Structure 1
Amino acid sequence: MTQDTSAATEPSPLRDSARRTLQIEQQAVAALITRLDAGFDRACQLILACRGRVVVTGMGKSGHIGGKIAATLASTGTPAFFVHPGEASHGDLGMITPGDVVLALSNSGETAEVTALLPLIKRMGVPLISMTGRSASTLARHAEAHLDAGVEREACPLDLAPTASTTAALALGDALAVALLESRGFTAEEFALSHPGGSLGKRLLLRVRDLMHEGARLPTVPLGSPLRDALLEITRQGLGFTCVVAPDGRLAGVYTDGDLRRTLDQHSDLSGLVVDEVMTAPGRRVPPDMLAAQAVKLMEDHRISALAVVDDEGRPVGALHMHDLLSSGVV
């Protein structure tokens, strides 16, 4: 089946407008690279030395960008939160403590609601980092570190709506967060701790013991059991296999649905068989403390859907099925 591409090649004023916007914003972000200076280093040093939190503030569109920057900082090892500058003047300034650092955003650097906070921030002795589009602005001049997020023009054809300027500020905020992340040696495991509900958190935090079936839900039969008993246990537990346990309690092997298919190919009469003769020995097994994501890889590599979970002595303590990994979001 071929796809009709004629509509994509026809002239489109809408796509032309979109391309101009993306090109202007691309250029705005690229221009930030050459303007990174010692002020960026100073901003990072202030935040790394901070014993409290980074308090981000900004009005209007800058406020929306500030909220995202605060969230990115907080999720990458730098405690941060956003305070609306208008609310700060009416009580929320109490959320700022002497051990904090303030990051204030304003494209003009003259936003009244933000500059009104300057005397209070100075009185508290809290370091101020500014992110503005004008290095000579009030906010930039009163900051201990200034981040230049200026742009040549907005993508808006009227040069009015914040577009390229907000994109540049957002990118500069990401650059700040990543520089701090790398400086701190922030790890994927630490990221997962602040994202326990996300897919990365599940892959890095969930262990086999968190998902395995245990106790009465663990399929087992003793070594020497008739094959019929093993099949009944597989059916009863519904996990597609059963552990075969030696007299000393250790795992001797496993008998799976796949083993049953091979047994049927090789034996015309199953009535006299014992599970020892047809089981897979020693069978794939994992420890309960293994990451669930590692268990997934083991299953995929060996094309199996279930695993026995054993303790340090080799005794079965649980059973893990691919369905459990799927339903938990690990896969």
Structure 2
Amino acid sequence: MAALVDPPESGHHTGGVNAPSLHPDLVAARRVLTLESEALAALAESLDDRFAQACTLLAGASGRVVVSGMGKSGHVARKIAATLASTGTPALFVHPAEASHGDLGMIVAGDAVLALSNSGETPELADLVGHAKRFGLPLVGITGRAGSTLARAADVALVLPEAPEACPMGLAPTTSTTMQLALGDAISVALLTRRGFTAADFRVFHPGGKLGARLSRVKDLMHGGEELPLAPPGTPMDKAIVAMTARRFGCLGVQGADGTLLGIITDGDLRRGLEAGGGGALLTRTAEQVMTRAPRTVTPDTLAVEALREMNARAITTLFVVDEARRPVGILHVHDLLRAGVA
């Protein structure tokens, strides 16, 4: 395989006139990323009250946000619609050409339209834009030309700043589509924030895969009922050890007469007890005398990823799950998180 960087000549440093030349692919990549990052910075600086006005129009729709575009703008529009829908804003993509052949029926009263066209003159959008105007649907346009047909027709036009395409010929949609995509993300996050969208809401729309697992709740993964390893504080340690080993969690919860979790006995507590006075001395003590008081706990509604973070921070493998009165209602082991795909 060819080296990405030519080896430096003997006796020369890596800087200055005799610096090693970069592979042309790397030069091209850096040029593209530099141009596009500069365009995104310019886009951020260009945003003004029209952005807030556009978000207000889209947020006010009682129906869905219909996103449309042709060609590369159409591919971007599909992604924007998907991001909106997954973050709490009902949305769908409508292909502008198909709209002219019956799919306009998908766009109904209460909907808002978000149309993308870098030139602002995409002919396939004409019928869709006309439909929006005919039925008084809010229309937000994303375009690269302020005086274009789309910009003039839109209730709010978000105009992309002038920036060269990253294509060496300046023809292939690259920088312009990157700005469209980023602006769609900005709109989606702004609407998410307006709605007060939470991680719990997010999981409703992302039940599968790694993300869904990380957004699951402790109550979805914990063990409860007869599986809980519990004993009263006066339990002799020989019986406490039997109760502890009868379960597979490597710990024992010490539960007071009022049902609250007073403490926890772990393998570490047993080891320290043995080191302090030998096995015989340990067995003469009670669970209350050996336990670690006020152990770390979680609630049933704690996010699974937060429980994992707590385990990692404390270097522990098990957490008791308690209710508002600190009564144990479940137990969670790190293996449960691994099996669920949280870790």
TM-score scaled by length of structure 2: 0.81
Cα distance in 1 for residues equivalent to 2:206 and 2:341: 13
Query: Mapping of 1:169-188 within 5 angstroms?
Result: 169-188=180-199
Q: How does 1:1-331 map to 2 (within 5 A)?
A: 9-149=20-160, 151-197=162-208, 205-207=216-218, 209-246=219-256, 249-270=259-280, 272-276=283-287, 278-284=289-295, 286=297, 288-292=299-303, 293-312=305-324, 314-331=326-343
- Which residue identity is paired with 2:99? A
Aligned residues, how many?
Answer: 327
Greater alpha carbon shift after TM alignment, 267-276 vs 160-169:
267-276
Distance 1:152 1:36 in 2: 15
Name which of structure 1's ranges 185-194 and 43-52 shifts more when overlaid on structure 2.
185-194
The alpha-carbon distance between structure 1 residues 91 and 226, as it changes in their structure 2 partners (threshold 3 A), is same
Amino acid at match of 1:95: M
Distance change in 2, residues 1:178/1:223 (3 Å): closer
* CA distance in structure 2 between the partners assigned to 1:248 and 1:182 by the alignment: 43
**CA apart distance, 1:258:** 0.9
* Residue pair 1:54, 1:78 contacting (<8 A) in 2 also: yes
1:90-146 superposed Cα distances (whole Å, 9 cap, x missing partner): 222221111111111112222222123233222222122211222222222222221
Q: Measure how far apart 1:14 and its partner are.
A: 1.5
Output the CA distance in 1 between the equivalents of 2:264 and 2:37.
Answer: 58
In structure 1, distance between residues paired with 2:123 and 2:268: 72
Unaligned runs of 5+ in 1: none
Deviation per residue, 1:200-244 (Å, 9 max, x gap)? 66555513x332221232123444444333223332311011223
* Distance change (3 Å), C-alpha of 1:263 and 1:154: same
- Give the fraction of aligned pairs with identical amino acids, expressed as a percent: 51
Q: Mind listing any 5+ residue stretches in structure 2 that lack a counterpart?
A: 8-13, 15-19
Q: Which amino acid aligns with 1:158?
A: M
Q: RMSD in angstroms over aligned alpha carbons?
A: 3.1
Q: TM-score when scaled to structure 1?
A: 0.84
SS state at 1:103 partner: strand
| Aligned partner letter, 2:334 | M
Contact 1:263 1:278 in 2 (8 A): no
AA of the residue aligned to 2:186: A
Q: Distance in 2 between matches of 1:221 and 1:20?
A: 67
> Structure 2 vs 1, CA of residues 283 and 324 (structure 1 numbering), >3 Å: closer, same or farther?
farther
SS state at 1:116 partner: helix
Mean CA deviation greater in 145-154 or 274-283: 274-283
Q: Could you tell me which amino acid in structure 1 is paired with residue 317 of structure 2?
A: S
AA aligned to 1:74 is A
The aligned amino acid for 2:162 is V
Q: What SS does the aligned partner of 1:71 have?
A: helix
Give, in whole Å, the separation in 1 of the partners of 2:135 and 2:68: 16
Check conservation: 1:255, 1:275, Cα contact below 8 A: no
Q: Distance in 1 between matches of 2:35 and 2:195?
A: 34
Other structure's SS at 1:237 match: coil
8 Å CA contact 1:132–1:150 kept in 2: the answer is: no
Decide which moves more: 140-149 or 190-199: 190-199
CA distance in 2, matches of 1:29, 1:247: 62
Within 2, Cα distance between the matches of 1:315 and 1:106?
Answer: 59
Q: 2:270 & 2:76 partners in 1: Cα distance? A: 60
| 1:75 counterpart letter in structure 2 | S
Quick check: 2:5–2:22 contact (8 Å CA) kept in 1? no
Q: From the superposition, tell whether residues 60 and 263 of structure 1 become closer, same or farther in structure 2 (CA, over 3 Å).
A: same
Tell me the distance in 1 between the aligned counterparts of 2:174 and 2:112.
Answer: 27
The whole-number CA distance in structure 1 between the counterparts of 2:229 and 2:313 is 23
